[in-house]
Amino acid sequence: MQETNYVTQETFDKMHADLQQLRGVERPAASAAIAEAREKGDLKENAEYDAAKEAQGMLEAKINQLEGALANARILDQSTIDTSRVSILTKVTLTNIATKKKVTYQIVSETEADLKSGKISVTSPIGRGLLGKSKGEVADITVPAGLMKFSVDDITI
């Protein structure tokens, strides 16, 4: 059983649109490719048919994964988020105590994580280490490179 996937309304809508695209456009195209390959003769030695069947299998797996994610999705309302402690969907400004470098991350679900845009997963080592911390606290976080210490400077939405 999959665990609950907390997402914003925007991400939920994007996931739903992706699922509709897969079901409504890509699934019929995969079926058509199989039908076309089937018409080309002996299926035992038909590489095009095998490739089309494999592509359909991967498509169906993607559809099932997305359906599961949507079924377990819980939409979070940003207006109800408490900013006194770090939680999912909060933006956290941190100072790396060793390097004195400041960074700002938004804590999001695994589905929405994108380090380039400053969004880290709640299940990542840093995300887990920051959960529940309040402004002014120091978080000792074990990452693959070792122990890092971060000072929580600010928590916003």
The answer for 41, left when phi > 0, alpha when psi is -120 to 50, beta otherwise, is left
pLDDT at residue 72 is higher than 50: yes
15 and 60 both lie in a single domain: yes
Q: 48: domain CATH number?
A: 1.10.287.180
Nearest to 154 by CA among 66, 93, 81: 93
22 and 54 both lie in a single domain: yes
Residue 102: domain span: 81-156
Give, in degrees to the nearest 5, the angle at Cα 7 between 27 and 143: 105
- 82/89 Cα distance (integer angstroms): 10
Q: 116: domain CATH number?
A: 3.10.50.30
- 117/84 Cα distance (integer angstroms): 23
Query: If you average pLDDT over residues 101-108, what whole number do you get?
Result: 93
107 and 147 both lie in a single domain: yes
pLDDT at residue 3 is higher than 80: no
- 155/136 Cα distance (integer angstroms): 10
pLDDT at position 134 is 92
53 and 93 both lie in a single domain: no
Query: If you average pLDDT over residues 27-38, what whole number do you get?
Result: 89
Query: If you average pLDDT over residues 56-78, what whole number do you get?
Result: 90
pTM, to two decimals: 0.69
pLDDT at position 43 is 67
pLDDT at residue 1 is higher than 50: no
pLDDT at position 21 is 95
pLDDT at residue 118 is higher than 70: yes
Cβ atoms within 10 A of the Cβ of 148, count?
Answer: 18
